Amino acid sequence: MNIFKSRLSSLCPVIAFSSAVILISTTGCVTLPKAPSGQELLNASLPNSDQVREQWAYRSKKGGVDSAWIKSFRDPALESYIGEVVAGNIELGAALHAVEAAAGSARQAGALLRPQLNAAGMSNHLDRSGGDSSDSSDLSAQLSWELDLWGRVRAARAAAGANYRATEAEYQDARLSLAAVAAKAWYLATETYQQLEFAREIVNIQQKRLDLVTIKFEEGELSPKEKHLAGADLNAAKDRLQQVSLAHRNALRTLEVLAGRYPAAKQQIARRYVPVPPSVSAGVPSALIERRPDLRAAGEQVAVAFNLVTEAKAARLPRISLTAAAGRSSNDLLDLIDQGPGFWSAGGNFIAPIYQGGALKEQVVIRTAEQKAALSLFGQKSLNAFNEVETALDGEAIFRNRERFLKGALDDNQKALDIAQKQFDAGKLDLLSVLQMQERVISSKIAWINIRSTRLAQRIELHLALGGSFE
């Protein structure tokens, strides 16, 4: 074995020679073109990129976009639940594994730029008809290294790196979207709980109304029609109670599944809303490209396609590789180990595509078309992102006004009920009218809690549209 090691050491000059040639050769290699930046992508992907405003069309608070938007709701229970969701959601875990796979692919593509060293061994036994036999064995180490003169391998590595960054950005987008979905589901569960309370109140009111109508019917003051209508209203209220009860349990199950738990409808939730946080700054439209992870992912996909075009073009050019080998061969395995003759060799390979039936040319056409498609998708996603922010900003004011109007309607109905209650106590109004006023108040309360839930969901949508971090 020592002899083999000494013989194998003769390969070192070959390795050093190969490395020197590569270093000299690569200094004259072509420089890979750089993929377009965010603003360049925007200009290239949108026909009217000059229409992108310096400020949002709908006014917003000036300043940079705040991160950790979950904390702005001042809801510790929500923060705790979001943490549980991010840690336990199964789909998010799968997305993380996709990032790990993309990272491995990027490292694998980069390995092609390094020398490839392999060991090879062979042993044969031959029996001849005369009874003679012979053994032969070979043991060698082989080194090969492609001179990436035209940037084909480097372009493939750059494409793999861009794909890794795109996958990582998609994972960040999945985390952000999951947090937003979980937060909206959290407040939806609160909404359904409050609706359940009001649905029970309406059933009680309708039951009292039916009891009163039945008494008046028996006393001859009302016709059978009024009694049947009151019964129909009670049954409708009970049906509504069943619907809301199921919706509430479904909301709880959704929360549990999001957190990676069994859907047993046992999730503990907040039964009252937190106040809608003060208005937030939306920054400027141009910053959205870097802040939103889905746009970063789309931009990296353009970079992937860009580098694959470069790789396809370089594949039409010759490939040059340096090779070297050293080893030992013998007619007997023991001789191979102890004293078999050694050898070493060095050389180069040259491969130039001459005729492939047009396959390589068409590959360039395919990659170029894919690059244009990726650029178009980036432009469309950018427009969608701008639209989401503008819509969310517009909705902020609209839903704030609607909440004010519905709260005013609730206050007026409550005041009317108070007056009706006093009139009933004074004997100036019958109980049926009071019950009808109570139903109006509860209906106003339902509309008010719906808009409060909508406002919270709208704020979450704004944060999601603006991107950034929720933690």
Q: Does residue 212 contact residue 435 with C-beta atoms inside 8 Å? A: yes
Residue 469 has pLDDT above 90, yes or no: no
Q: Does residue 348 contact residue 322 with C-beta atoms inside 8 Å? A: yes
Residue 4 has pLDDT above 70, yes or no: no
The answer to whether position 47 is within a domain reads: no
Higher pLDDT, residue 165 or 48:
165
The answer to whether position 33 is within a domain reads: no
Residue 344 has pLDDT above 80, yes or no: no
Element (H, E) at 79: helix 76-88
Given this model, what pLDDT does residue 315 score?
Answer: 85
Number of domain units in the chain = 1
232, 236, 242, 244: CA torsion to nearest 10: -160
The answer to whether position 448 is within a domain reads: yes
Element (H, E) at 343: strand 342-351
Maximum C-alpha span of the chain: 132
Element (H, E) at 102: helix 90-111
**Of 207-211, 304-308, 328-332, the least confident:** 328-332
Residue 17 has pLDDT above 70, yes or no: no
Higher pLDDT, residue 122 or 1:
122
Residue 57 has pLDDT above 70, yes or no: yes
Given this model, what pLDDT does residue 207 score?
Answer: 92
Residue 32 has pLDDT above 60, yes or no: yes
Average pLDDT over residues 342-351: 69
The answer to whether position 403 is within a domain reads: yes
Token pair 């692919």 is at which residue?
Answer: 105
* Secondary structure (3-state) at 342: strand
Span 80-89, pLDDT tens digits: 999 999 999 9
Nearest to 348 by CA among 328, 320, 373: 320
What is the average pLDDT value for the chain, to the nearest integer?
Answer: 82
Residue 16 has pLDDT above 80, yes or no: no
**CB count in 10 Å sphere of residue 210:** 21
Q: Please, which residues bridge with residue 76 across strands? A: none
Span 79-113, pLDDT tens digits: 999 999 999 998 888 888 888 888 887 777 777 66
Given this model, what pLDDT does residue 329 score?
Answer: 61
Containing structural domain, residue 410? 58-116+151-317+353-466
CATH of the domain at 200: 1.20.1600.10
Distances (CA, A) of 10 to 4, 141, 346: 10, 12, 11
Given this model, what pLDDT does residue 2 score?
Answer: 40
The answer to whether position 289 is within a domain reads: yes
Residue 5 has pLDDT above 50, yes or no: no
The answer to whether position 372 is within a domain reads: yes
Given this model, what pLDDT does residue 3 score?
Answer: 36
Q: How far apart are alpha carbons 214 and 434 in whole angstroms? A: 16
Confidence of residue 19 (pLDDT cuts 50, 70, 90): very low
Average pLDDT over residues 319-341: 61
**Of 14-23, 237-246, 324-333, the least confident:** 14-23
Residue 405 has pLDDT above 90, yes or no: yes
Nearest to 347 by CA among 114, 20, 14: 14
The answer to whether position 424 is within a domain reads: yes
In this structure, what are the phi and psi dihedrals at residue 281, rounded to the nearest 5 degrees?
-80, 140
Given this model, what pLDDT does residue 401 score?
Answer: 93
The answer to whether position 271 is within a domain reads: yes
**Of 89-93, 105-109, 232-236, 300-304, the least confident:** 105-109
